Each structure stands twice: as structure tokens, then as C-alpha cells.
Amino acid sequence: MKEKNDSFIIKGGKKLFGEAYVQTSKNACLPIISSSLLTTEKVKIKDCPDILDVKNMVLMLQKLGVKIDHDGKDLIIDSSGLNNVNLDCELTKTMRSSIFLLGSLLQRFGTIMINTPGGCKIGARPIDIHIDAFKKLGVKVSCLGDCLFFDASRAKANKIHLKLPSVGATENIVQFACLLKGKTEIVNAAKEPEVVDLCNFLSLMGAKILGAGTNKITIYGVDSLHGVEYRPIGDRIVAGTLMTAVALTGGELTLRNANANQNEKLIDILRRMGCQINIKHDIIKVTKSGRLNSIDVVTGYYPEFPTDLQSMLLVLMCLANGESRLQENIFENRFLIKDELIKMGAQIHQIDNRNVLVYGQNELRGCTVQAKDLRGGASLVLAGLVAKGETVVEGIRYIDRGYDHFEDVLNSLGADIKRT
């Protein structure tokens, strides 16, 4: 595991050229790892990214009695010895994704006690949607100090209408309902590709799930699930990050294992800003020269522009020709990167928690900046790639949570980044 005080030292001004393979998706791998607990047979998850969130999830499961072996980047999971539902408090505080274990462990044991999960401080991110959904399935939820106690002894299938299309709540209910007798319906379900990937994985295990990728998912409970081998989808946010990097620096990048349909909104935006993008099967080629055009963008739930790419787009706007506007509709604290970019010479006016105006500049200046969340941290690295002089990005433990050897990927394309 990387040290908590690691930093990146970046020498800017280099164009990016070459080819990169997009890692498997963090946000697909984590719920899939959780779902492997729904069978006592072995599950093999192929090509898992070497990131802190996966390492911490593995560590958490091992403390519960799950045997996990590594075959290169493949995980072989044997949960037949799972004997504990007391999640490690320190790990759950650092990982928002620990909430994914709720559905599978509750189904496996019938009761579970959890701490409120942690993660990046980008907004309230309440788990009340999860709680309300489980209550509609007959699960009793009690508050005991800083912990929540779930009792599924009287759980039964039902129709659930989510007040927001929460990815985590959708995935938790799908996991729990796979082995719950009867028909469970999730209305206003999340439609993200990672939700579809989880449903595909569970279907291969023997689950009966209809409607994944639409706003209504129907699950028919089965008696048991079996082991499988599965490769999660490529990470659309990592692909988007790398496409944005080339849009900033100029150059030419070929991405493999990249599903263009999953990044349709970003590709449209990059084209409008002046990039040339060619697509063939799972290959995306991005070429950029000259100044970027200004643009107005609004984030939203999939298939709208993703909030996880918002901070990268903010960096693009800082160097675009003219005035751009960015509206954030998912999280109320997604502009943590703003003050760090201003240190680098950006002109950003925050109207309120949801809206910023960006006045494009000819250049950014290198300086020392602080990563405060996963995607914002990656975006500061991108800003450093194009900034004049040297940029130091501190707090890169956030970046290590979701990007597999980020500096090595960028250096292979011609960047100059050192970890210190």
C-alpha cells in the first residue's frame, strides 16, 4: 500500500502521445466483490485494478473469514469460511464502498451491524435511501450509537420506489433480493453501466434479473447462486480522465478497453471543445491541437454527464477560449478543487454550491496543491500536466483509491511525473 504522505511532482508542458489500456472499473469491481459472498462456491474476478479501494475491500473481507487468493491481477474468492459480520470500523470510515457489503452480508447472515461508511467528502451522501429501501422489504433498522443494526428475519419481496436513482441503493437491493423469495421491483433504479455489470455478474451466478439499465429492475428470488469467472467492464471514468488529459496537453492517444457508448456525453463535449475523436469497437482515438472552445455543462444521473468527470471538465474550462459555466446537480460539495486551481492562476467564480463560472486563461502556473478527494486529485494532476513549471500534488492517497498506477500510465504517454 502507498504511504499516506505521498506526493506527485509534475513537470508540465509535455504533450501526450501513445496507447493506454483502460483498467477495469473500480465502481464495478467493488459491488461484484461484495456479491461473491452470496455463494459458498469459488468466484474468480479477472483483472481487478491495483487500487486502494480494492485492497481495503479485500482486507475487510479477509477479516470476516473470507479466503482471497491472487492470481496476477485476478482475485479468487472463497467465502465458504465467512464467519463474521462485524465490519472493521476504521476501514468502513475510509471507504464509501463498504456500504456495498450491506446487501450481501444481510442476505447471508440475516442480521448485520455497520458503521456509517466514509469516503470522499464531496457532499452529504446519506444512506437513508438504502435504509428506506430495506425497510420496504420488511427489514428492521435500529440505531445503536454510531452504528446501524439491520434485522432481515421478517424480510419479504416488495415493490420499492427510490426517491433518487441511487447507484448504491440499487446495487444493495439487487444483491439482497436475488435470494429473497418472490418478486422484488425497484422503480427509479439507477441505470449506470456498473449497475448493469453487477446484474450481468449475478445472472451468470444463477440470479433472475430483468430490466438492468432501465429505470425498473425486477428480481425473482432463487434458492441459491453458484461460482463463476467474470471480467468487469472497463472504467469509464478512468477512460474519461485520460481523454481529458490529451484534450488539455494536446497530442494523440489511443485507448483500448474503452466503451464509447458509456462516455457518450464526454465525447460529445470534447468534440465541441475542439478535439478529434474516432471510435472503432472498444478503441477510442483522441487527437487535439490548438485552443479549446468554451462550453456550458450540467451534470446528472446516467446517461447524463457524470459528476465523477466534473472536476476534470473544470480544468478544461480553465484553459478554454472564453467563458464557461458548470452546474453540479448530484453533490453539493463537488467544487473542492476550485481553490487549488485558483492558486494555479485559474479564474473561477462560484455562484453557489451548484454553479461556477470559469473565465478561460492562456495558461496555468505550477505550484503546490492539495488533493481533497479522488476525482479532484486526479484533476489536479491533469492541471499539473499542462501548467507552466513544476506542480506538486499532495495527498495523492485519494488518487490511489481509484487509479491503477496513475503516474506510470501518464509517464508511458510522455508525461514527467515522480512519486515522492
Give the long-range contacts of residues 131-136, CB within 8 A, separation 24 or more.
132/163, 133/160, 133/162, 133/169, 133/172, 133/173, 133/186, 134/102, 134/106, 134/172, 134/173, 134/176, 136/160
Which DSSP string do the residues of 113-131 spell out, in sequence order?
A: EEEPP----SS---SHHHH
Q: Could you give the CA distance from residue 266 to residue 368 in angstroms, rounded to a whole number?
A: 29
Q: Could you give the CA distance from residue 300 to residue 304 in angstroms, rounded to a whole number?
A: 5
3-state secondary structure of 409: helix
Determine the angle formed by the axes of helices 26-35 and 193-204, rounding to 10 degrees.
30
The reply to whether 275 belongs to the active site is no
Which DSSP string do the residues of 46-104 spell out, in sequence order?
A: TT----HHHHHHHHHHHHTT-EEEEETTEEEEE-TT----B--HHHHHH-GGGGGHHHH
Q: Which three cell numbers stand for residue 115?
A: 458503521
DSSP state of 234: B
Where do the H-state alpha helices sit in 299-396?
310-318, 338-343, 374-386
Contact 383, 366 (CB under 8 A): no
Q: Could you give the CA distance from residue 267 to residue 262 in angstroms, rounded to a whole number?
A: 10
Contact 286, 247 (CB under 8 A): yes
User: Which residues are within 8 A (CB) of 185 and not within 5 positions of it... i.e. 6 or more apart?
Assistant: 158, 159, 160, 216, 217, 218, 219
| HSE, side-chain direction, 13 A CA sphere, residue 368 | 3
* SS3 of the chain: helix, strand, coil, percent, to 5: 35, 25, 40
Alpha carbon of residue 112 to chain centroid: 25
Cβ neighbours of 154 (radius 10 Å): 9
From 29, 120, 178, 275, the catalytic residue:
120
Contact 262, 193 (CB under 8 A): yes
Amino acid (1-letter code) at residue 44: K
Catalytic residues: 120
